[in-house]
Structure 1
């Protein structure tokens, strides 16, 4: 799931997954962090989910995927669209 908050000239995107689906650590990777899995690991939240928040330039689009344990790549079914194998988020 994607949560958005508009800021001045930027959009804060929060990438949200259930706490244990999939099991193990998960990172959100995309062209906004040069596909670096160490840049944005999802962290537990008090509501039983885990999330990573990134402020991105407004009026832009970015490709992303999730990377789980064991090199398990997967998509967000709530992405704004898809570009080949990657999800797309619009700010």
Structure 2
């Protein structure tokens, strides 16, 4: 995964680009996390021409968020390049993202 962050100073907003490589086979991928109240359909990634997946999200700057990828509505996937991980109530871990 590639996380790209840009900051808009006057609004205290960080734009984050979530990206997964074209090796991820899926019909749909959603980014699900604390920034969208774990809504499994709120943030759908878009497949690019090269087969990779991307999503741009504007988040409040200066915060730490938890997230995971939901593939095809059934399979949870953690980002191997996340900034960190934290245990979740389901016996697995969530990825950490700081803005």
TM-score, normalization by structure 2:
0.83
Deviation string, structure 1 residues 5-38 (Cα, Å, up to 9, x no partner)? 1112111011101235032211000010011121
Residue 60 (structure 1) aligns with = 63
Shift of 1:68: 0.5
Rg comparison, structure with higher value: 2
Q: Which residue of 1 aligns with 2:33?
A: 30
**What is the correspondence of 1:76-87 to structure 2 with a 5 Å cutoff?**
76-84=79-87, 85-87=93-95
Deviations 1:15-73 (A, max 9, x none): 10123503221100001001112111110234542111111111110000000015100
Q: Secondary structure at the match of 1:41?
A: coil
Unaligned runs of 5+ in 2: 88-92
| TM-score, structure 1 as length reference | 0.90
Report how many residues are paired: 91
Which whole-Å CA distance do the structure 2 matches of 1:79 and 1:43 have between them?
20
Tell me the C-alpha RMSD between the 2 structures: 1.5
Q: 1:83 & 1:58 partners in 2: Cα distance?
A: 20
